[in-house]
Structure 1
Amino acid sequence: MTEAPMKALAGRVALITGSGSGIGRATALRMASLGAVVGVNDLKQEAVAAVVAEIKAAGGAAVAVTRDVSTRDGMREALLGFAKQQGRLDILVNNAAWVRYQSVPDIAPETMERMLNIGFKAIIWGIQAAAEVMDAERGGAIVNVASVAGLVSAKNSIVYSGIKAGVMGITRAAAAELGARNIRVNAVAPSAIPTEGTMRNRNAELDARRVARTPLGRLGTVEDIARAICFLAGDDAGFVSAQVMTVDGGITFTNI
């Protein structure tokens, strides 16, 4: 009788912000299936409860972390509390975001502030808190969710594109500083992925144009992004840091 293969993230403890839906949910499900204990974070308690229940029903381990991570105190409460409860923290996925697309004349201070708090500042606060609790010898992995909008931009996306470009800069700077503590910091940059949160900015005609321009001939899925995140968080990426992995079917760097 042969032993069952070791799961890739067995024994790891991971917190995923904004994991009540979309890419975060898919990442939580995949990490749990790979053996990690997952902290499911979102402000929507019913969404968190549903993801936790789904993970447990599949035989995985998950904990609800319903904290607002858009402030330094909220992020620290979420991450440090979860790490204390589990006795360690190995992986942080900074996925939470709040997005509104506005033309230059229509950019509103309150919209920009909320986008910055959740999509930019929270990543710095998360990295700061994770660096505090990740074991200095064992290290850890931080994966930030950027976007190809930080590389190539469309109209009405000044704030969003600026934030996602900033996330790439945060990733590289954090990797430079935290590498000495064996903490790897990387990012994924998805193309337009169908999720609940992006439906207001999608239509069949636009999606058809995107598919036509994508070398792989389809839109990406939340599972595509989750697989990339789990790779960067795991040992197979043990010598990978300061990287921004575009997960986009080839659309960003080709012209077809």
Structure 2
Amino acid sequence: MAPTHKVAVVTGAGRGIGRAVAARLAEDGYHVVAADRDADGARESAEAIRGSGGQAEALALDVTDRTAVLNAFAELRQRLGRVDALVNNAMWITYAPLVDFDEDTVDGMFGIGVKAAIWTMQAAVPLMRAQGGGAIVNLSSPAAVRSVPGGALYAAVKGAVTSLTLQSAGELGRDGIRVNAVMPGSVPTDGARAVVDDAGFRLRMSRTPVGRLGRPEDIAAAVAFLLSPDAAFVSGHVLAADGGFLVT
């Protein structure tokens, strides 16, 4: 059965910021496709949304697999009829000195951080064009423009995502497709805690003017704004939701 609301696809929706984004978009009236390569995480996110009265479904998807992504969006188009919003949130992070990164790590981070965003945009854009428009939000990072210890590879990935966002906004605007990005500040999700210790979070909080770390809901609110009618004239923008970190 086709959804009664607009459709939003959120990658990396199984936990953390992605789960919060999925929940917020459901609150805003979207039928949410919670996509994650962790099928259980995707299912739990979708179930939580439905339990709160929203519309959602789980999609087990490896976004690094271009064929799988194209097939998944083709199935969504056939079954749901449209994709109005795409949020590229999926990411895998590891920190290390620049000289220590091996080829598997580089390929892995660029695969999920950059190539996956390209694949999902390639899949979503024809649908959006056919329906007269849509909106895309990519997740960048302050690391794209600020030095982070051990973050050379992460910075390269998020720098690429930022450039992809700006270039795509220029290319797709005439099709009625807006493309923006959010730069989240430090948010102590389970995934972030796997690579940043307590001392690292204390350092990040000391450099955040508002005096606290971020919450997944803070980032979800920024994403929701960029997808909303209130941002109808906003495209090619990178919104820092970082508590002022970039100005320190």
TM-score, structure 2 normalization? 0.95
> Do residues 172 (structure 1) and 163 (structure 2) align?
no
8 Å CA contact retained: 2:9, 2:34: yes
1:61 alignment counterpart: 55
- One of 30, 33, 41 as aligned partner of 2:35: 41
Distance 1:220 1:43 in 2: 25
Q: In percent, how many aligned pairs have the same letter?
A: 41
> Do residues 220 (structure 1) and 214 (structure 2) align?
yes
8 Å CA contact retained: 1:15, 1:79: no
> Do residues 194 (structure 1) and 179 (structure 2) align?
no
Note the C-alpha offset of 1:211. 1.8
Note the C-alpha offset of 1:17. 0.6
Note the C-alpha offset of 1:52. 1.0
Counterparts of 1:89-128 in structure 2, within 5 Å, are 89-128=83-122
> Do residues 71 (structure 1) and 65 (structure 2) align?
yes
Q: 1:155 to 1:205 in 2, by over 3 A?
A: closer
Letter in 1 for 2:87: V
1:4 alignment counterpart: none
Distance 2:98 2:145 in 1: 19
1:231 alignment counterpart: 225
Letter in 2 for 1:61: Q
1:208 alignment counterpart: 202
Which sections of structure 1, spanning at least 5 residues, go unmatched?
1-9
Q: How many residues align?
A: 245
TM-score, structure 1 normalization? 0.92
8 Å CA contact retained: 2:188, 2:201: no
Note the C-alpha offset of 1:156. 1.4
Distance 1:104 1:205 in 2: 21
8 Å CA contact retained: 1:67, 1:77: no
Note the C-alpha offset of 1:77. 2.0
Letter in 2 for 1:228: A
Note the C-alpha offset of 1:38. 0.3
Distance 2:16 2:109 in 1: 17
Measured on the aligned residues, the alpha-carbon RMSD in Å equals 1.3
> Do residues 86 (structure 1) and 80 (structure 2) align?
yes
Q: 1:87 to 1:137 in 2, by over 3 A?
A: closer
8 Å CA contact retained: 1:52, 1:64: yes
8 Å CA contact retained: 2:129, 2:177: no
Note the C-alpha offset of 1:136. 4.1
> SS at the partner of 2:13?
coil
- One of 227, 242, 248 as aligned partner of 2:242: 248
Moved more, 170-179 or 69-78: 69-78
